[in-house]
Amino acid sequence: MREHDPEKLVARIPLFATLEPEARKPLANLIRVRRYSAREVVVWEGETGGTLFLSLTGYFKAITTGSDGKEMLLSVMGPGEVFGELSVLDGQPRSASVVTLEPGELASLERPALFELMATSPRLAIGLIEVLAQRVRTLTKRYETISTLDVPQRLAQVLVSLAQKHGQHEGSRVRIPVRLSQQDLGSMVGATRESVNKQLRKWTESGVLHRETGCVVISDFPALRAASAT
Amino acid sequence: MREHDPEKLVARIPLFATLEPEARKPLANLIRVRRYSAREVVVWEGETGGTLFLSLTGYFKAITTGSDGKEMLLSVMGPGEVFGELSVLDGQPRSASVVTLEPGELASLERPALFELMATSPRLAIGLIEVLAQRVRTLTKRYETISTLDVPQRLAQVLVSLAQKHGQHEGSRVRIPVRLSQQDLGSMVGATRESVNKQLRKWTESGVLHRETGCVVISDFPALRAASAT
DNA sequence: CGACGAGTATGAACTCGGTCACACCTTGAG
DNA sequence: CTCAAGGTGTGACCGAGTTCATACTCGTCG
């Protein structure tokens, strides 16, 4: 995003889009923008921190690391999305780490500034509650999925939702413009790198999708969608 | 709970405990109390509904039913806990069904009344945000657990947390006073009834726990706790 | 440009836990 | 009191997916 006028940046973030215009001006002065390089850690799980992040460009992953060192990928966040609201709102330690998947830019807002804004702008509070509510719904669904479906179904489901959330249409094809390793995909569906690889190969062979420099391109979206349900 | 003075009821619910005393009086007039019999459905997944529920007595389970009809148990709620806040806050359909595990009483509060209260009492809004935040944290942890640990570990973990949340100490023993079938336990950890049965038997044989008329009593809490981590 | 590290590819062996099948208890409704 | 229904107990079998081992491919950095 070459745009560096804070006020214009703010208008692009859905959370702030519905904000009263007169509330946007002060906001613009409170955010700070920073560029992150690939694989940089934005927040560490377990840390206490009161910063809210707003993704401007690039993709980020939220991960938790289990006691045995295994990494679980909780969500992939792209431009316009907000994260870090949990710790800001309840003051508890960060529930996950966030790492850049590729270079990108983030705007950040500190807790005191956020609370000040919320006091004058109830819509912001409502927006944040909606973000939180959405997280609960997404997590509930993922939880249900992981304990009900088998690996191919789970993988199909993840690809479908990645495509819906971040996909770029190229004719009848849909490109998922996020550089996710097979390891990453595995840790999204609770499977090993190997299992992901094998399933991906099957789909590649049957022409459902193909890989391009670290990205997945879906050729036959309906087929994938069909594979995600029973 | 024989107590039927609404104002006293309200004081027992943690969400309202920190409420300004002058805000409790109007609240008392807005809640409605109802008794539910065993296995009664309080809310149906998918329905739209704007009622917030406050558990007074008895235990309740939140479940989602997958497309294949398999039931997942999301959480067990006991006296003092609040549920149904998600749909009330974001207006979306209910994310899960709630069913009584045994006869119990619930207080309920309708959306308009709640919003009215929130407008005058910011603490209530903060309390609800905390409830939501807690849900995100719990779900995140459960999600991590289910995809990292094996069945015995998951089961141990669930029993430990049930004991911590609802347990009654009887000397060195801890009783989980909730009537959960092995099927229920299974659907909490993403396992079958049979697997739960077999693990429970092992623990019974080794004296870690025993069963009493539908309830689980933990004899060796440290052992169970040890079994829940690797 | 060449080499190292990260990611990809693939199969063989094993194993946890699910499925199935069947018998045995409780418990509460009539 | 009796019966049906729902919950519990237990073993045999088998299959999806993990683990392990071993090559290969690519891109990026000295």
Closest residue on chain B to A143 (Cα)? B143
Structure tokens that stand for B46 in this block: 């998918």
pLDDT-derived band at B95 (thresholds 50, 70, 90) equals very high
pLDDT at B1: 47
* Chain B residues with CB-CB distance to A64 below 8 A: 140, 144
Nearest Cβ partner of A132 from B136, B144, B190?
A: B136
DSSP A139-182: HHHHHHHHHHS-HHHHHHHHHHHHHHHH-EEETTEEEE-S---H
What pLDDT is recorded for position B31?
92
Q: Is the CB of A190 under 7 A from strand D?
A: yes
Of B51, B57, B53, nearest to B38 by C-alpha is B57
> Can you list the alpha helix ranges (DSSP code H) found in A93-121?
111-120
B223 touches chain A (CB under 8 A): no
Model confidence at B4, pLDDT cuts 50, 70, 90, reads low
Distance linking the first and last C-alpha atoms of chain B: 41
> How many percent of chain B have pLDDT more than 90?
74
Is B36 or A69 the better-scoring residue by pLDDT? B36
pLDDT score recorded for residue B230 = 60
What is the predicted pLDDT for the residue at B16?
A: 87
For residues A26-39, average pLDDT: 89
Indicate the angle between helix axes B221-228 and B151-166, nearest 10 degrees. 130
Residue A6, pLDDT > 80, answer no
Q: Which amino acid is at B101?
A: L
- Answer whether any strand C atom is within 7 A of the Cβ of B187: no
pLDDT given at position B206? 94
Sorted by sequence, the CB contacts under 8 Å of residue A163 that are 6+ apart come out as: A174, A176, A218, A221, A224
B207 phi, psi to nearest 5 deg:
75, 15
The single-letter code of the amino acid at A184 is D
A3 has a pLDDT exceeding 80: no
Residue B128 has a pLDDT of 93
pLDDT tens-digit readout, A7-18? 777 888 888 888
Q: In the predicted model, is pLDDT for residue A184 greater than 70?
A: yes
The count of other CB atoms within 10 Å of the CB of residue B148 is 20
Per residue in B111-152, pLDDT (tens digit) is 999 999 888 888 888 899 999 999 999 999 999 999 999 999
Coil/strand/helix, residue B43: strand
pLDDT at B66: 84
pLDDT of A87 higher than 70:
yes
Secondary structure letter of residue A58 according to DSSP? S
Which residues of B fall within a CB distance of 8 Å from A130? 89-90
Task: Report the Cα B187 to chain-centroid distance in Å.
Answer: 14
CB of A87 under 7 A from strand D? no
In 3D space, the residue among B220, B15, B30, B200 whose CA is nearest the CA of residue B114 turns out to be: B30
Closest alpha carbon to C1' of D10, residue = B198
Rounded distance in angstroms from the CA atom of residue B162 to the C1' atom of nucleotide D17? 30
Tell me how far CA of residue A97 lies from CA of A46, A92, B221, in angstroms: 8, 14, 31
On chain B, the residues whose CB falls within 8 A of the CB of A74 are: 140, 143
Contact at CB, B133 and A86, closer than 8 angstroms: yes
For the cut 80, the answer to whether the pLDDT of residue B181 exceeds it is: yes
CA A217/CA A203 separation, integer angstroms: 11
DSSP secondary structure, B57-123, as one string: ES-EEEEEE-TTS-EEEEEEE-TT-EE-HHHHHH-PPPSSEEEESSSEEEEEEEHHHHHHHHHH-HH
Could you identify the residue written with the tokens 């024989």? B2
The DSSP output letter for A103 is S
**Length of chain B in terms of residues written:** 230
CB-closest option in B67, B135, B146 to A229: B67
Positive or negative, the CA dihedral B44, A227, B149, A132 is negative
pLDDT value for A29: 86
- Smallest CA-to-CA distance from A190 within A228, A147, A156 is with A147
Q: Is the pLDDT of residue A2 over 80?
A: no
β-strand partners of B35: B105
Distance set, CA A157 to CA A89, A127, A150 (Å): 31, 27, 11
Spell out which residues of chain A touch residue B227, defining contact as CB-CB under 8 Å.
none
What percent of chain B lies above the pLDDT cut of 70? 98
Q: Which band of pLDDT confidence, cut at 50, 70 and 90, is reported for residue B3?
A: low
Q: Which residue of B has its CA nearest to A68?
A: B230
pLDDT score for A212: 86
Dmax (CA) of chain A = 57
Interatomic CA distance for residues A47 and A95, integer angstroms: 9
Write down the pLDDT at residue A34: 92
Q: List the B222 CA – C20 C1' distance (angstroms).
A: 36
Angle at the Cα of A120 (from A114 to A122), degrees rounded to 5? 85
Residues 19-58 of A with CB under 7 A from strand C: none
